[in-house]
Chain A
Amino acid sequence: MLLEQLSNARGVSGNEAPVRDLLIEAIKAHVSEYRVDHIGNLIAHKKARSARKSAPKVMLAAHMDEVGLIIVHHESNGHLRFRVVGSIDPRVLLSKVVLIGKDKIPGVIGVKPIHLLKKKERDQVIDVEAMTIDIGAKSKEDAQGAVKIGDYAAFATEFGAVGDGLVKGKALDDRTGCAALVEILKRDYPFDLYGVFTVQEEVGLRGARVAAYAIEPDVAFVLESTVCDDSPKKKDVSPTTRLGDGPAITLADRSFISDRRLVHLLVETAKENRIPFQFKQPMIGGTDAGRIHLTKEGVPSAAVAVPTRYIHSPVSLLSLHDYQNMVALMTKTLPKLTKL
């Protein structure tokens, strides 16, 4: 399963090559041409099946990168200091296994045993700056031989099935979008389609910015994995999205306001085809659409995402039904697109 391979592959922002290599293999039989641009985006071009005058140039984007760690210092005892790449809650880091660098050196983010914790320490959140990775090195020199400053570390989580139709894994944000985009690229469309697997989304939507500048699309869709906070709560407030209720359509988030015509098209298509869908809680998070829609003279954009629990942590959880419904929603919607 491609999603499994993608989830297990390591591609912290700035180091997306392993993920990109998998994707190139997955798409090359289905697209007219592909290239890797100057900052590492994989841009696949699928030419129109039959040229139509009103056909728009469409860009679909999913980001290859994941949140992770980068090594910044070797301690005298051989432990490694690190910083986070992208946003990670420091509380989810302690005692996790990570794989560092090309050689996948395993390491453990150390934690003080509960036996030794003072009462005050139990209530504290430990800063990332105070944490270290233990790779079993005996000395600074030993550690320097195994790991270099600037090496990336990714969580060691293995993809797997959970419950009925759910899967767990790391980096589902946004390998889910990448897997969906590969599925979408397997079909033909009556317009020129650019499937873009972007880099560096988690550190500021950087890849999408230059890719959209080069492509100059008329319309853009971003395929994502998004926040899902659907556990029961004391107050009647938004769950952001609900697992299993279908793909989540963004109306507005911190990075952009969706083009209402595109939202309308998605909703109508979902209703016609009885594909379940939901609206994501507005004004939470941001996606590549935040940069794409501001490209050159502006690009009408929308974002669709698979609800994902425990996002930006070493392991998250999603429903394959939601994933399949996102692919279905996009493959049914795209052929209806005309120039706006």
Chain B
Amino acid sequence: MATATQGAHFPSFDNSSEHSKNLPPLKALIKKLTETYGPSGHEQVIREVIRDEIKGLADEIRVDALGNLIARKKGTGATPRKKVMLAAHMDEIGVMVTHVDEKGFARFAPIGGVFPLHLIGNRCLFANGVIGTFGREKKDASRTEIEMDKVFIDVGAHDAKDAPVSVGDAACFWRDFVDLGDRMMAKAMDDRIGCAVLIETLRQLKKSPHDVYFVFTVQEEVGVRGATTSAYGVQPDLALAVDVTDTGDTPESTTMAVGIGKGPAIKVKDSGMLAHPAVKKLLVDTAVGLKIPYQLEVLTGGSTDAMAMQVTREGVPAGCVSIPERYVHTPSEMVDLNDVQNAVKLLVNTLNKPLKFD
């Protein structure tokens, strides 16, 4: 049993099943990343998984005071070289136990943007491997509206003493990765898919003239906190977040001119930042030049690490390459593999160009 204060016992995910053996490498990576535990503030396990993936690919790898994983790949250009920061967040939304009642049911608070509607019938995974399900108070229950404080976690305990979780323990959603062909579905695609894009970009990047910092950030879902401190440390000349964005391509969806499978989305604005016009142009010009499909993104709710990087120190030209994603912040987030591959292509080719922002 692990409590919030004891040494961590983390679940080990067996990725050696027949199913995952048959997955192509990029999908296998996405499966591994999405199935790993890592709610905000509890990124130790996912950080080690990523560190293992990028071993030997960078010139320097370090972890900062807040837990951001920072990999630097030296550029081929003459000094002084420009510094580019790519950020994808390692953390995922989740829940934290706030109270275990006498009967062993756990009350909880959300970590990041968790919607009560998505909880009922779903399962959560704690750091010690315990899995629970979400139940709701039935008395006076509405059929349609679910209030977070009337939902609880049941880990099958007989009473409080028997409960294998305690106050402060954090859990993420628990769901397997599913390969649907072009499309893939998993928990925590937000933003492990961005982490996959960064890892793949790092693998493919051979001749960028710039020093590129691949930053796997912590605590994005609770207020872009990791990007705030890592951007201060890196002091980049250009900052790009790689994160997911909403879509308008499902039945009776809210209006949004982004859909999955139509290319990575180049951000114009969201509710936390306006992309630097020259950064947007750089990305669009690269996509057009190489005939990489792309979409322009105007997101009305939500933001990314770019919001924090943009206002670091004296300010940084910033933008965002987004992977369109359906069912954001549910246990079944869906993305299209082509968008992932095209995002990598767009980033590699953009990073190979000289940078000039006037």
A binds B: yes
**A interface with B by C-beta (< 8 Å):** 218, 236-238, 251-252, 256-257, 260, 263-264, 267, 279, 281-284, 293-300, 340
The answer on a CB contact under 8 Å between A257 and B219 is yes
Alpha-carbon gap, A299 to B64, bound state (A): 9
Given A218-B65, A282-B96, A282-B168, 7 more pairs with CB closer than 8 A: A236-B102, A238-B98, A252-B41, A264-B5, A267-B5, A279-B168, A296-B229
Q: Using Cβ atoms and an 8 Å threshold, which residues of chain A touch B229?
A: 294-298
- Tell me the nearest residue of chain B to A239, going by C-beta: B99
A251, A264, A283: the one within 8 Å of B110 (CB): A283
Inter-chain contact total with CB atoms closer than 8 Å:
78
Size category of the B interface is 20 to 34
B45 nearest CB across to chain A (Å): 13
Alpha-carbon gap, A256 to B226, bound state (A): 11
Alpha-carbon gap, A282 to B171, bound state (A): 13
A287 nearest CB across to chain B (Å): 15
The answer on a CB contact under 8 Å between A257 and B107 is no
The answer on a CB contact under 8 Å between A238 and B99 is yes
A-B contact pairs, 18 of them (CB 8 A): A236-B102, A237-B99, A238-B98, A238-B107, A251-B4, A251-B167, A252-B96, A252-B111, A281-B99, A282-B96, A283-B109, A283-B111, A293-B66, A294-B225, A294-B229, A297-B232, A298-B68, A299-B65
With A237-B99, A238-B99, A297-B64 given, is the CB distance from A279 to B4 under 8 Å?
yes
Alpha-carbon gap, A252 to B40, bound state (A): 10
B31 nearest CB across to chain A (Å): 27
Q: Using Cβ atoms and an 8 Å threshold, which residues of chain A touch B107?
A: 237-238
B245 nearest CB across to chain A (Å): 25
Q: Using Cβ atoms and an 8 Å threshold, which residues of chain A touch B225?
A: 256, 293-294
Judged by a CB distance under 8 angstroms, whether B275 is at the interface is: no
The answer on a CB contact under 8 Å between B97 and A282 is yes
Q: Using Cβ atoms and an 8 Å threshold, which residues of chain A touch B110?
A: 283
Alpha-carbon gap, A238 to B103, bound state (A): 14
Judged by a CB distance under 8 angstroms, whether B162 is at the interface is: no
A260, A281, A298: the one within 8 Å of B167 (CB): A281
B1 nearest CB across to chain A (Å): 15
- Tell me the nearest residue of chain A to B41, going by C-beta: A257
The answer on a CB contact under 8 Å between A298 and B98 is no
Q: Using Cβ atoms and an 8 Å threshold, which residues of chain A touch B230?
A: 297-298
Judged by a CB distance under 8 angstroms, whether B228 is at the interface is: yes
Judged by a CB distance under 8 angstroms, whether B101 is at the interface is: yes
In the complex, per-residue mask of B46-65: 1 if CB is within 8 Å of any chain A CB, else 0:
00000000000000000011
- Tell me the nearest residue of chain B to A265, going by C-beta: B5
A260 nearest CB across to chain B (Å): 8
Q: Using Cβ atoms and an 8 Å threshold, which residues of chain B touch A218?
A: 65
In the complex, per-residue mask of B226-256: 1 if CB is within 8 Å of any chain A CB, else 0:
0011101100000000000000000000000
Judged by a CB distance under 8 angstroms, whether B298 is at the interface is: no
- Tell me the nearest residue of chain B to A219, going by C-beta: B65
B40, B99, B101, B168: the one within 8 Å of A251 (CB): B168
